[in-house]
Structure 1
Amino acid sequence: MLNIVLHEPEIPANTGNIGRTCVATNTRLHLIEPLGFKLNEKALKRAGMDYWPSLDVTTYIDFQDFLEKNPGVKIYMATTKAPKVYTEAKYEPDCYIMFGKESAGIPEEILVKNKENCVRIPMVGDIRSLNLANSVSIILYEALRQNQFNGMNMEGHLHRLNWDETMK
């Protein structure tokens, strides 16, 4: 099971959308405080829709608390400051992928200690960053792809029609 870590997220709608993505992919969500919202906030629940009760989510007082409760885990860190592109990493089935807060990213003190596991999403020009929920989706789905989308539905079905009938 993959793990998404949000370091001090600030926007409830982003975290709600990420929670929904985690439920859809059987991924655990880890939230490192301080949060820029309360977990019972309407915007969080609205974005997470009715999936939020199914979410495997854990909160931590700070990054040190996270490390103490998850000793020895492999953490990839998504940052615009990384020299390596996210597709160059080899994501283990139980790895952790960490993202920083919307306004500032992951603190540089943490990045420096984890340089070999920092990854970036390529962008054009001077764009500061992508939306947090979009960034999580991009990298999470690459990790899932590398792990053959283990346990996920790989085929969809029409409700009223047959795919072959639509081709006539």
Structure 2
Amino acid sequence: MLNIVLYEPEIPANTGNIGRTCVATNTRLHLIEPLGFRLDEKSLKRAGMDYWKDLNVQTYIDYNDFLERNPGAKIYMATTKAQKVYTEVEYEPDCYIMFGKESAGIPEEILVHHKDTCVRIPMMGEIRSLNLGNSVAVVLYEALRQNEFAGMNLEGHLHELNWE
């Protein structure tokens, strides 16, 4: 099972959307405090819709608590400061992919300890970054693709309609 880690997320709607994506992909969500909202906030639940109750979510009081409770975790850090593109690494089925808070990303004092596992999403020009929910979806689905979408529904079915 893959793991998405949000370092001090600030916007409840982003976290709600990410929670819904995690439920749809059977991915664990890890939230490192402080959060910019309460977990019982309406906007968080609205964005996650009725899926929030099915979410496998864990909270941590800070980054050190996260590290202590997940010893030996392989952590990829999504950052605009990375040298590698997110498609240039091989994501293990149980790895952790961390994203920083909306206003500042992951602090450099954390990134310097993970230089080899920092990844970036290519963008044009001087844009700072993509929306957090979009960034999580882009990288998570690459990790899922690399792991052959294990356990996921791979085909849909159209219903025959009589248009006459």
Fold equivalence (TM over 0.5):
yes
Q: How many angstroms apart in 2 are the aligned matches of 1:101 and 1:151? A: 30
Q: How many angstroms apart in 1 are the aligned matches of 2:61 and 2:133? A: 22
Matching residue of 1:111: 111
Q: 1:100-137 CA distances to partner (integer Å, 9 max, x unpaired)?
A: 00000000000001000000000000000000000000
For these two proteins, the number of residue pairs brought into alignment is 163
**TM-score for the superposition, normalised by structure 2:** 0.97
Q: How many angstroms apart in 1 are the aligned matches of 2:104 and 2:117? A: 19
Q: 1:15-69 CA distances to partner (integer Å, 9 max, x unpaired)?
A: 0000000000000000000000000000000000000000000000000000000
Counterparts in 2 of 1:22-61, with a 5 A limit?
Answer: 22-61=22-61
Matching residue of 1:161: 160
Counterparts in 2 of 1:94-109, with a 5 A limit?
Answer: 94-109=94-109
Matching residue of 1:124: 124
SS in 2 for 1:103: coil
Q: How many angstroms apart in 2 are the aligned matches of 1:84 and 1:147? A: 19
Q: 1:80-115 CA distances to partner (integer Å, 9 max, x unpaired)?
A: 000100000100000000000000000000000100
Matching residue of 1:136: 136
Matching residue of 1:12: 12
Matching residue of 1:91: 91
SS in 1 for 2:98: strand
Tell me the amino acid that sits aligned with residue 88 of structure 1: E
Q: Following superposition, which runs of at least 4 residues in structure 1 exceed 6 angstroms of deviation? A: none
Tell me the amino acid that sits aligned with residue 161 of structure 1: E
Matching residue of 1:151: 151
Give the CA deviation at 1:70: 0.3
Q: How many angstroms apart in 1 are the aligned matches of 2:155 and 2:113? A: 41
Matching residue of 1:71: 71
Q: How many angstroms apart in 1 are the aligned matches of 2:78 and 2:153? A: 27
**TM-score for the superposition, normalised by structure 1:** 0.95
Q: How many angstroms apart in 1 are the aligned matches of 2:102 and 2:153? A: 31
Q: How many angstroms apart in 2 are the aligned matches of 1:36 and 1:5? A: 15
Q: How many angstroms apart in 1 are the aligned matches of 2:108 and 2:157? A: 46
SS in 2 for 1:114: helix
Identity of aligned residues (%): 80
In the alignment, structure 1 segments of 5+ residues that lack a partner are none
- What's the Cα RMSD here? 1.1
Tell me the amino acid that sits aligned with residue 160 of structure 2: L
